[in-house]
Amino acid sequence: MRNINKKEIINFIKKNRLPLIILIVAIVAIVIGLIISFSFDKEKIASGTPKTVANTSEGVIKEENYEGLKFTNISLITEDGYSTFTADVTNTTTTDCNISDVDIVLQDKDGNEVITLRGNIGENLKPNETRTITAVTKGDLKNVTAKAIAKYENTAQ
For range 60-68, the mean pLDDT: 95
CA dihedral sign, ordered 71, 110, 83, 120: positive
Q: What is the DSSP string of 22-44?
A: HHHHHHHHHHHHHHHHHHHHHHH
Q: Is residue 58 part of a domain?
A: yes
71/35 same-domain check:
no
pLDDT, averaged across the chain? 86
Alpha-carbon gap, residue 74 to 77, rounded angstroms: 10
For range 49-61, the mean pLDDT: 84
For range 30-54, the mean pLDDT: 69
Residues with Cβ within 8 Å of residue 119, at least 6 apart in sequence: 85, 87, 89, 101, 102, 103, 104, 133, 135, 149, 152
Q: Give the confidence band of 149 by pLDDT, cuts at 50, 70, 90.
A: very high
Could you report the per-residue pLDDT of 72-119, keeping only the tens digit for each?
999 999 988 899 999 999 999 999 999 999 999 999 999 899 999 999
39/96 same-domain check:
no
62/21 same-domain check:
no
Fill in the amino acid letter for 48.
G
75/41 same-domain check:
no
